[in-house]
Structure 1
Amino acid sequence: MIVSHRHRFIFAAVPKTGTHAVRQALREQMGDEDLEQVGLFVDKRFPWADLATVRHGHLPLRQVRPHLGEAAFAAYFKFAFVRNPFDRFVSYCAFMLRGGDDFTQRPQAVMRHFLFIEPPEQHVLFQPQASLLVDEDGKALLTDAVGRVEDMQGSYDSLCARIGIASRSLDRVNSSQHGDYRRYYDQTLIDGVAARYALDLELFGYAFEGGR
């Protein structure tokens, strides 16, 4: 997550949505007064003790809100990137088994394991994207805008224009290797992902074949 006092924005880093590429680009616009929490490639912490103990930078907006105060939180432009949950889940499985060939050799078995047998409920990469972006009631989005991985560069350009900073071409960072997500699914897996990530599908308008 990045909190920029200079440019009055908050970037909520949703895992498996190209966040490292966005961070790299946004850092070029940051000043000494700006804050970031991140735990991969770079190790930075927020100045608030309860958040600084978290080992990663994928923090819910609702947890940062009280530290900034209601006036600043309301005034700052809050944004994130989101991704089709069916595509994101394939990326998660490939990422978790990177360095081996288990996912390549038996992708559906791996997907069933994470979905139905031993779901890693507390792992931030496994949790719904909406869990980082909704209010305390878990229903209303706290973001002012969301970019989409499906139009990563176009979304980033538009977000930069709204913030009032220069855009640039995004790098490809920390990506997992897999093919078109649709070829990994059968109906049981489609139903399983749809149930687990129902709020993501609803809030962000995705479906198995794509979305808005």
Structure 2
Amino acid sequence: MIVSHQHRFIFVAVPKTGTHTVREALRPHLGPDDMEQARLFIEKKFPIPELARIGHGHLSFQQVRPFLGEDAFSAYFKFAYVRNPFDRFVSYCAFATSKDGAFQRDPRGVMRHFLFVAPPHQHMVFQPQHKFLVGPDGKLQADFVGHVEDMQTAYDEICARLVIPSATLGRVNASCHGYYRDYYDEQLIEGVKKIYGRDLELFGYEF
């Protein structure tokens, strides 16, 4: 997550949505009093002990809201990126088994394991994307949600809203896998729909 007091924005880094690419592009514009929490590639923590103790940088709007105050939270431009849940789940499986190569050997076996045998619901990378972006009432708290599938166009629009120069986005920390549709059968499609149904509905995605 990044909170910029200088440019009055909050960026929620939803896991597996190209967040490190966006962080790299935004960092040159941050002021001395702006805050970032991240753990991969660069380690930074918010000067807020309760949030710093969480360790990772994938904080939700709900986690940071009490520490910013209602005036700032309401006034700041709040944005994030999301990704097709079917594609994101493949990326998660490749990421979670990158050390032992299990996904490369048996992708559908790994996918079935995470969907039906031992779903890691508490793992923040596995969690549905909407949980990072909605309030207690289930309503979206972001002012703008970009889609990874059109990442550059969304970033250009974000920069226009913030009145900062845009930049050509690179690719950082990408998982190693092929086109997501090639990994699925009907059972796996239904499994993803069951866990990530709210994401599909809220962000307008389908298989």
Normalising by structure 1, report the TM-score: 0.96
Matched, 1:85 2:80: no
Inter-partner Cα distance in structure 1 for 2:42 and 2:121:
26
- The structural deviation recorded for 1:114 is 0.6
In structure 2, the residue matched to 1:152 is: 151
Amino acid in structure 2 at the alignment position of 1:4: S
In structure 2, the residue matched to 1:162 is: 161
Amino acid in structure 1 at the alignment position of 2:154: S
Query: What RMSD in Å do the two structures reach over aligned CA positions?
Result: 0.8
- The structural deviation recorded for 1:187 is 0.5
Give the % identical residues.
62
Gaps of 5+ in 2: none
Normalising by structure 2, report the TM-score: 0.98
Inter-partner Cα distance in structure 2 for 1:116 and 1:165:
45
- Is the partner of 1:125 in helix, strand or coil? coil
Residues matched between the structures, number: 207
In structure 1, the residue matched to 2:24 is: 24
In structure 2, the residue matched to 1:197 is: 196
Equivalence map 1:106-121=2 (5 Å): 106-121=106-121
Inter-partner Cα distance in structure 2 for 1:82 and 1:172:
16
Matched, 1:47 2:47: yes
- The structural deviation recorded for 1:100 is 3.8
Inter-partner Cα distance in structure 2 for 1:113 and 1:163:
42
- The structural deviation recorded for 1:135 is 0.1
Structure 1 stretches of 4+ moved >3 Å: none
- Is the partner of 2:29 in helix, strand or coil? coil
- The structural deviation recorded for 1:171 is 1.6
- Is the partner of 1:3 in helix, strand or coil? strand
Inter-partner Cα distance in structure 2 for 1:175 and 1:94:
10
Equivalence map 1:54-65=2 (5 Å): 54-65=54-65
Matched, 1:13 2:7: no
- The structural deviation recorded for 1:107 is 0.5
